[in-house]
Structure 1
Amino acid sequence: MMVVENTYTPYYNHIVYSYPSDVRRLWKQGKVLMLDIRTPQEYVAHHVPGSVLIPMDYLEELSHYFSDKEVAVICEHGNRAYYATFGMPHLYRRRAYYLAGGLQAWMYMGYEVVRGLDEGAKVWKELLNSQSVRSRA
């Protein structure tokens, strides 16, 4: 029996389709930035500890924040994250991991989540206060 851990797309070799166990291992090793692309309200409800909030509507505008890092792109069910990784591959200069199943799969596996605002949301608040983003908000 063969176990598939990661799959790569032939079109974008810097994007990896990954499962929660693989993403969690990389996150625990400090190899990826957890990029939460949900809304601020969803982030407050529950998120991965230490993840950075940048809602999907602002990804292109704020890609300079994460373009030099390896990121795991996460959302609630995986749909937005799929679009944000495979539909916008130009945003990632380094490797991007798509979290299959999103936070629902993450929580189903029993992995850690926290509630409320934390350091990851502070990044979002600082970006909201910047002139380029304030005009859209």
Structure 2
Amino acid sequence: MKTEMHGGVTLESWSPDEVQTALAANKIVLIDVRTPQEYMFEHIEGALLMPMAFFDATKLPGQSEKRIVLHCGSGLRSERMAKAAIAAGLHQIAHLDGGFGAWKAAKKPYIGTNMGNGAPERVAP
């Protein structure tokens, strides 16, 4: 995990392995900030959608039990939204370093779209 200080708060950048482990242990809320179209085409199973265009940090769930980890396609949008969450008063926030691209490059499972019938399907590279 990499960290940087932003507004007096530590912003964490998690690796795909760290996110996968924490998600499997039910220790995080994973929020996808990509567009609905990107999410519909492929996404990390269990990730919730809060598109960047409609991102409102005040609507994020409380963090008394689980840390919030944001992700996007490459890590740029999620880092920006994490900084917006810090500016809105959140004190624990993280994002997936490298985004969904890093997730796929690390050969992690996800939900994709079957191009033959348009149905969602689990992809385990």
Q: Classify the TM-score, shorter chain.
A: 0.7 to 0.9
Structure with more helix by fraction: 1
Contact 2:3 2:10 in 1 (8 A): no
Q: Which residue number in structure 2 is paired with residue 115 of structure 1?
A: 112
Unmatched tracts of structure 1, length 5 or more: 119-137
Contact 1:67 1:91 in 2 (8 A): no
Q: Which residue number in structure 2 is paired with residue 132 of structure 1?
A: none
Aligned partner letter, 2:54: Y
Across the aligned residues of Structure 1 and Structure 2, the Cα RMSD in angstroms comes to: 2.4
Q: Count how many residue pairs are aligned between Structure 1 and Structure 2.
A: 113
Mapped pair 1:82 → 2:79: yes
For residues 12 and 42 of structure 1, what CA distance do their matches in structure 2 show? 33
For residues 55 and 6 of structure 1, what CA distance do their matches in structure 2 show? 24
Which stretch shifts more, 85-94 or 99-108?
85-94
Q: 1:43 to 1:110 in 2, by over 3 A?
A: same
For residues 51 and 92 of structure 1, what CA distance do their matches in structure 2 show? 23
Unmatched tracts of structure 2, length 5 or more: 114-118, 121-125
Contact 1:67 1:94 in 2 (8 A): no
Structure with more strand by fraction: 2
User: Residue 82 of structure 1: CA displacement?
Assistant: 1.2
Alignment match of 1:30 (pick from 15, 26, 30): 26
